Amino acid sequence: MGFNLFGLSVYLVNPALMFGFAGVLALLILGTIAALVLPAMQPGKWSDLGPRMRSWWIIVILVGGALLLGWQATAIVFGLISFLALKEFLTLAPTRKEDRLIVFLAYISIALNYGLIFADTLFEDSYQIYLVFTPVYLFLAAAATMAWIGRTDGYLSTVGVIHWGTVVCVYNIGYIAFLMRTPDAEAPAGAAGLVFFLLFIVQLNDVAQYCWGKAFGRTKITPKVSPNKTWEGAIGGWLTTALVFYFLAPYFTPLTPLHAAIMGVVVPMFGFFGDITMSAVKRDLGVKDTSRLIPGHGGVLDRLDSLTFAAPIYFHLLAYFALERF
Amino acid sequence: MLQVIRRYGLMLIVRPIARLLFTLDAIGGEKLPKDGPAIIAANHNSHIDTVVLLCLFPSKLLPKLRPVAAADHFDKGGFGSWFSKTVIGIIPIKRGGASRGEDVLLAAKEALTRGEILVVFPEGSRGEPEAMTRFKTGVARLAEFCPAATVTPVYLQGAGRSLPKDAKLLVPFNTTAVIGDPLTWNGSHHAFIEALRERIEALKAQAPPLRWE
């Protein structure tokens, strides 16, 4: 399993991808300068910004480096991210001492789910196998295992927790790594360009919603779940992201203008719903952050919330509109 | 030489693996003692508790950190004893079966005199996962012996799910350590362990809610 060094050289000469990385780097440097200057100007107010920016550097180097190294490295990095996210979810979700074995099996599912990404070329048409494996067969396996070992007390709630966790943290996040198996010839900036664009758009949506909300936010959108979210922020962020998507799509995706417009509207909307869904889960579990693993951000799931919804729809719409491979 | 291997072993192997498997969330880490003599007192549910506590400290303090552990479990002779005492750095302590007049705390007291940091579990046993039992008075006697040593209460959550007593299978869950303000010797064994216990119980409120029956 040699890493795709040829792919690396292809990406390094791809102007769109390099421009994208340069843009992200510029944002990081700007943020780092802000983190150095703002706390000195207004002491106490920006204490969070320093650790937040340091964490961003690590995230960008880790994920960006994996993208440049190719699909194997991307699958390994997102496999680890899935593990950390699932562990956060299963730590907060209700489980019992007797459920330890089934929780252990849920972790094994990460190896199976990402193993299918590695085994992509092994079976004919294994695209379909990835699609159904975790949501259907892992679900059945978990349910049957619980019945086999005779766990009938709280049966549905445990099977439900395991299914929820594996689909959201493993299967949906796995789409990011799976997209890297697109042949590079199918997209203007290769498979890495497709994945980069997804991650960029979803993070941009979060930031744009925040900025519009700060500037014009009045009307609360989901007061019970996310009291900081407003209609003004959500719509402003949505429009901003949709426009950026539409204008940048030709450099990163093989979409026609009409299809780019459709995806520009749909993908950020899914991101928004991922965000409020994870907030609802956190409310139910009684926490604000899912862990303290990423200084300044909270847990892995706090950072991934929008992606758990946006990654599958981005993949499927691309597959439907443009990608020959899937 | 051994200390160098231990220190880098903790930094490069134990801590990264522990962080991957248990995340090792810490609240109030700045309240930990920066030097000895000192005592860390935590609730006890799992062998992993010791790993979690050792990882809380900067690795340069490792030579001074001495977990106080049951001799009947960790000092049964052979390789296990050598590993526990030399590599992990435990101080074995007899639980019951000590003859009258024998001071079971002697080795721990000597360590305090040397300026080391003791890691103690006042419950004396892991017990049922994620449930606290009665505290033994040993920690109070140590605080009495060395009033210069502060006793820092730590509430540990989660390790009892990953590896409860009698379990063979390790299942990763996140752990949280909540560190409280240190106590000093107050003149009474009973009052001291009561105060310590209350403090650890109070720290529980800062940890994420535990849904575990």
Q: What is the pLDDT of residues B183-200, one digit of tens each?
A: 999 889 999 999 999 999
Q: Which residue has the higher pLDDT, B85 or A137?
A: A137
- The tokens for A217 are 């936010």
CB contact under 8 A, B164 and A287: no
- The tokens for B81 are 């004893």
Label residue A208 exposed, middle or buried (CB < 10 Å: 0-12, 13-18, 19+): buried
Stretch B57-70: mean pLDDT, rounded? 92
CB contact under 8 A, A95 and B212: yes
A-B contacts at Cβ under 8 angstroms? 61
Q: Is residue A289 domain-resident? A: no
Q: How far is B114 from chain A (nearest CA, A)?
A: 35
Distance CA A25, CA A21 (A): 6
The set of residues, in sequence order, having a beta carbon less than 8 Å from that of B203 and lying 6+ positions away, is B153, B154, B155, B178, B179, B180
Distance CA A103, CA B5 (A): 35
Q: How far is A269 from chain B (nearest CA, A)?
A: 30
CB contact under 8 A, A97 and B209: no
CB contact under 8 A, A287 and B208: yes
Residues in chain A whose beta carbon is closer than 8 A to a beta carbon of chain B? 80, 83-84, 87-88, 90-97, 100-101, 103-104, 107, 285-287, 291-293
CB contact under 8 A, B209 and A286: yes
Distance CA A166, CA A148 (A): 20
Distance CA A68, CA A86 (A): 26
Domain boundaries, position A113: 73-181
CB contact under 8 A, B169 and A92: no
Residue B37: is the preceding peptide bond cis (ω within 30°)? Answer: yes
- The tokens for A226 are 């996310």
In the three-class reduction of DSSP (H, G, I as helix; E, B as strand; rest coil), residue B84 is classed as: helix
Chain B interface mutation, best of A100, A103, A285, highest count of B Cβ atoms under 10 Å: A100
Q: How far is A200 from chain B (nearest CA, A)?
A: 26
Q: Is residue A109 domain-resident? A: yes
CB contact under 8 A, B211 and A94: yes
- In this prediction, residue A218 carries a pLDDT of 86
- In this prediction, residue A2 carries a pLDDT of 39
pLDDT (tens place) for every residue of chain A, 326 residues total: 334 555 555 566 688 889 999 999 999 999 999 889 888 888 777 777 889 899 999 999 999 999 999 999 999 999 999 999 999 999 999 988 888 999 999 999 999 999 999 887 777 666 778 899 999 999 999 999 889 888 788 889 999 999 999 999 999 999 999 999 999 889 999 999 999 999 999 999 998 998 898 888 888 988 888 888 899 999 999 999 999 999 999 999 999 999 999 999 999 999 999 999 999 999 999 898 999 999 888 999 999 999 999 999 999 999 999 888 88
Q: Which residue has the higher pLDDT, B22 or B212?
A: B22
Q: Chain B: residue nearest A295 by CA? A: B25
Give chain A's domain count.
1
In this structure, the number of other CB atoms found within 10 A of the CB of residue A308 comes to 24
Q: How far is A201 from chain B (nearest CA, A)?
A: 28
- Nearest-by-Cβ selection for B213 from A96, A103, A285: A96
Contacts of A97 in chain B (CB under 8 A): 129, 161, 164, 212-213
Q: Which of B149, B201, B135, B207 is nearest to B174 (CA)?
A: B207
A210 in Cβ contact with A272 (< 8 Å): no
Please determine, for residue B113, whether its predicted confidence score (pLDDT) is greater than 70. yes
- Nearest-by-Cβ selection for B174 from A94, A103, A291: A291
Distance CA A28, CA A34 (A): 10
Please determine, for residue B42, whether its predicted confidence score (pLDDT) is greater than 50. yes
CB contact under 8 A, B208 and A101: no
What radius of gyration do chain B's Cα atoms show? 16
Q: Is residue A294 domain-resident? A: no
Stretch B80-92: mean pLDDT, rounded? 88
CATH number belonging to the domain at B2-206, selected among 3.40.50.970, 3.40.1130.10, 3.10.180.10, 3.40.190.10: 3.40.1130.10
Chain A interface mutation, best of B130, B157, B165, B173, highest count of A Cβ atoms under 10 Å: B173
Residues in chain B whose beta carbon is closer than 8 A to a beta carbon of chain A? 20, 23, 25-27, 129, 158, 161, 164, 167, 169, 171-174, 208-209, 211-213
Q: Chain A: residue nearest B177 by CA? A: A292
- In this prediction, residue A13 carries a pLDDT of 65
Please determine, for residue B38, whether its predicted confidence score (pLDDT) is greater than 80. yes
Answer yes or no: pTM beyond 0.95: no
CB contact under 8 A, A92 and B173: no
Contacts of A96 in chain B (CB under 8 A): 212-213
Q: Is residue A160 domain-resident? A: yes
Phi, psi of A125 (to 5 degrees): 60, 40
Q: Is residue A68 domain-resident? A: no
